[in-house]
A and B are shown apart, each in its own frame.
Chain A
Amino acid sequence: MHPISSRRAEAGKASGTPTRHSGRARRLYTVGNPRKSTTLTVMTALFTLYCLLPLVWLVINATKSQADFVSSFGLAPGREFALWDNIVEVFGYQDGIFSRWLLNTVLYVVVGATVSTFLAALGGYALAKLDFTGKRVFLFVVLGSISVPGIALAIPQFLLFAQLGMTNTPWAILLPSFINPFGLYLMWVFTAEAVPTGLLEAAKIDGAGEFRTFLQIALPLLAPAGVTVLLFSFVSIWNNYFLPLIMLKDPAWYPLTVGISQWNKLGSTAGNGALIQNLVITSSLLTIIPMVVAFLGLQRYWRSGLSLGAVKG
């Protein structure tokens, strides 16, 4: 920071406040480190509270027994701390089907996100660094498909997969998740910027084939964008509800989202029968914990990926 610019900045800003003779003892406000504003902080904090409130509610209520949930105030703890009992009950309910749903979700997410990211990298690399006829048409169709609403697509997908006999199998969830047009776009832009063509030529002169050049030279350079695409796929598959809802009939193949929704229905359709809201709430909490951890741990990749998309947008 240039000292003159910072002092000028402060002079312009602090015209209403008393002049500071003891400037050296005070902190110098600069363009890079301006004075904090209480008003702005309070306003932002209010919105933060709105974002946090349901999550706090979820954590508090996951610690209550069913009896406490029905009888106690929503944001106050129950009479007993039943979190562990609830977790044990979640994993034991209906012969432990929750762990099956968890494994299904992990399968869909890990296979789906990995394959879709790899295919996007492969395609993005070809678009950025290789020549082929029909490239423009291909790009136009794929990028155009980004604006096709996913749900409008899901019903045609279901009708086709039903014809092919693939509904009610994991393939009905996996195959659509392998294609990520936005990921292909990010990979294309990133390859063009981050992978020097000269480096690829050098590898080929050294006798490496096209595929080996991609794997050993380009792929490591694409890692930052790869993590971003991986994250986007991870979230969209983990949170996917509509596609598995229509594709799957057998609860043994459900992901967590559809499973929890079925448990939630159980209480209401059974009338005054089995009320298992404590299980619905605890399983919801268990479902979002891996996502929250992934989000907080990989925050900077979100920003870098989004700025990549934003600059080009």
Chain B
Amino acid sequence: MDLARRFDADPPATASPDAKRPQTATRKHRRTRIALAFIAPFGTLFALVFIVPILYAAYLSLFQQKLIGGDTFVGFANYGKLFRDPQFWDGVGRVFRFTLIQVPIMLIFAMALALALDGMRVHGAKFMRMTIFLPYAVPAIVSTLMWGFLLGVKYGLFGSLNDALGTDLDPFAPGTTLISIGLMVTWAFTGFNMLIFYAALKAVPRELYEAAAIDGANEFQVVRAIKVPALRGSLVVTTIFSIIGTFQMFNEPQILPSMVAGSGVTTFYTPNLYAYHLAFTGSQQGYAAALALVMAAITIAVAYAVQIRGLRNASDQ
């Protein structure tokens, strides 16, 4: 989403009309004080849970923890080590590949479902809309447990399938685990994205459809000329949120090893899982802090690139 433009163009930021009237210095001072009192609780806590931790992590990332001698200042050595760390890049590569495949599939499904449900040509649309959204209410831990059991060969349906057909399919073999995780993530978030698209479609004025009908437009033309353009803004937002979500993938690969053996999930399967293991089992807080900051920078850079591209495409139309 276009944060910078959003608050530049904001109508809300222009405040009450009497702000424009000449004011005495004391009155203006008093108003500012009141406004600060409103904003202070949020601002203070925001500093405590967002700004200070990031600054503290930046500070910590300049140190290395040693068994003997404690913390030593190492400058940017942690960052240098990180850029040469094959385990880090293995995880980064994995979430990139995952994002490139899973996000388009999920968003195409979400968009198609929103179009189908908005078109009012589907029986039981209300029930299906609610059911598709429902997985969003399920915590990642519960969804991983359900899918882990469901797909697993030990207790799950694939075990029964293999018994029945004499096959040897395993959704949690090293080569297939990522596909199974994609199935879980798509399950959890398609409905949420569908609802964002659906809300955008509902905001289209009905008169447009009536006008199109008078002009004799067929359904395909209505979708292409009215509905898809209406979805463009939401598509940028959902793409960015999905990228942020998949880049920080953690829950599924953290929980899976406790459910299935030999799934191929390593301690550095995703960058966040790696940071977690570095900080909590490896006691390398400085290195983990550097990793978290670099990952945040990569995520913001990619999200920003998508936003620029998305807006350029939108303004081309």
Contact call B38/A246, Cβ cutoff below 8 A: no
Chain A contacts of B124 at CB under 8 A? Answer: 41, 45
Contact call A147/B240, Cβ cutoff below 8 A: yes
B272 to chain A, nearest CB (A): 5
* Residue in B145, B150, B187 whose CB lies within 8 Å of A284: B145
Flag whether A159 is at the interface (Cβ < 8 A). yes
* Residue in B1, B32, B146 whose CB lies within 8 Å of A58: B146
Flag whether B132 is at the interface (Cβ < 8 A). yes
| Number of chain B residues whose Cβ lies closer than 8 Å to a Cβ of chain A | 122
Contact with B along A65-97 (1 / 0, CB 8 A): 000011001110000000000000000000000
Contact call A51/B145, Cβ cutoff below 8 A: no
- Assembly CA distance A157 to B137 (angstroms): 26
Contact with B along A245-268 (1 / 0, CB 8 A): 010000000001110110011001
- Assembly CA distance A292 to B234 (angstroms): 25
Contact call A147/B244, Cβ cutoff below 8 A: yes
Flag whether B196 is at the interface (Cβ < 8 A). yes
Contact call B116/A43, Cβ cutoff below 8 A: yes
Within 8 A of A (CB), among B69-125: 109, 113, 116-117, 119-125
Flag whether B128 is at the interface (Cβ < 8 A). yes
Chain A contacts of B56 at CB under 8 A? Answer: 156, 159-160, 163
* Residue in A1, A61, A119, A148 whose CB lies within 8 Å of B42: A119
Q: Which residues of A come within 8 Å of B, CB atoms?
A: 1-2, 4-6, 8-9, 12-13, 31-37, 40-41, 43-45, 47-48, 50-55, 57-58, 61, 69-70, 73-75, 119-120, 122-123, 125-133, 135-136, 138-153, 155-160, 163, 175-176, 178-179, 181, 184, 188-189, 191-193, 197, 200-201, 210-211, 214, 235, 238-239, 241-242, 246, 256-258, 260-261, 264-265, 268-269, 277, 280-281, 284, 287-288, 291-292, 294-296, 299, 302-303, 306-307, 309-313
Chain A contacts of B15 at CB under 8 A? Answer: 128-131
- Assembly CA distance A242 to B255 (angstroms): 11
Query: What are some 6 contacts across the A-B interface (CB < 8 A)?
Result: A5-B214, A153-B50, A303-B199, A310-B233, A311-B200, A313-B233
Residue on A nearest B11 in the bound complex, by CB: A192
- Assembly CA distance A257 to B42 (angstroms): 27
Residue on B nearest A29 in the bound complex, by CB: B121
Contact call B32/A133, Cβ cutoff below 8 A: yes
A159-B53, A310-B199, A313-B1 given; A54·B42 CB < 8 A:
no
